[in-house]
Amino acid sequence: MKLPTLSAADLRKNRTAMIAGGATFVCLLLLHLLWVRPLLTEKEELEAKVKQERELVQKYHEKLNQAQSIKDNLTKQEVELRELQKKLFRGSDAYQLAASLGDLLSSKDDPKSKLDIKTYQVLASKEYGLYQEVTLRYNFMTSVEGLHFFLERLRNLEMAILVQEINVQKIQRKGGPDLVVNVIVAALLEKTEKT
């Protein structure tokens, strides 16, 4: 197979076409180097930035979801705290609490139950910031009806109170109360400012 040969006359005759072709090639090369390649580089950089921004947005979205969960939890705990605060005794003194609780549990307003708390004692008091846990002992003599009245009052009392110990002794008496009751309770006190 024989390759075609170009003569000088052919080159002169097609010189303009060759110069135009070479100029077009150089223009395309310059266009690629000066305009297309920087655009491609910028496009790659922008794609990398977009990817990075999407990852950042995803992280912020996760943090917002986590914050919403924390907010919901705090709202729930706030409601529970308000409910608990409704059950707290208010005052500034443990002895004041003991006396008012004794009045609430006694049967002064219901004399047929024969329960009148005569003595009380503050056993312990623990501070928890704005709150105080007070351990109290009540001693009284009563009948079975009076003890039932006391326990029913204690159960129906909508205050934060916990019976820690109860001792009941039966004594032999001809008239009046025949039970000696010793009750230890713990109550929560929300401290208020002394005026």
Ordered per-residue pLDDT tens for the chain, 195 residues: 676 776 777 777 777 888 888 889 988 888 888 888 888 888 899 999 999 999 999 999 999 999 999 999 999 999 988 887 777 777 777 888 788 888 777 766 665 667 767 788 888 888 887 788 889 999 888 888 888 888 888 888 877 788 899 999 988 877 777 888 899 998 888 877 654
Last residue of a domain, one of 53, 86, 119: 86
Q: What pLDDT is recorded for position 1?
A: 65
Q: Are residues 97 and 146 in the same domain?
A: yes
Q: Are residues 36 and 109 in the same domain?
A: no
Q: Are residues 16 and 98 in the same domain?
A: no
Q: In the chain, how many domains are there?
A: 2
Q: What pLDDT is recorded for position 69?
A: 93
Distance between alpha carbon 133 and the CA centroid of its chain, in Å?
Answer: 23
Give me the CATH number covering residue 116. Answer: 3.30.70.60
Last residue of a domain, one of 38, 53, 86: 86
Q: What pLDDT is recorded for position 167?
A: 93
Last residue of a domain, one of 24, 55, 86: 86
C-alpha to C-alpha distance for 92 and 84, rounded to whole angstroms: 18
Q: What pLDDT is recorded for position 195?
A: 47
Region of residue 129 (phi > 0: left; psi between -120 and 50: alpha; otherwise: beta): left
C-alpha to C-alpha distance for 191 and 87, rounded to whole angstroms: 13
Q: What pLDDT is recorded for position 71?
A: 93
Within-domain flag for 101: yes
Could you list the residue range(s) of the whole structural domain that residue 29 is in?
9-86
Q: Are residues 186 and 96 in the same domain?
A: yes
pTM above 0.75, yes or no: no
Q: What pLDDT is recorded for position 64?
A: 92
Q: Are residues 32 and 101 in the same domain?
A: no
C-alpha to C-alpha distance for 81 and 190, rounded to whole angstroms: 12
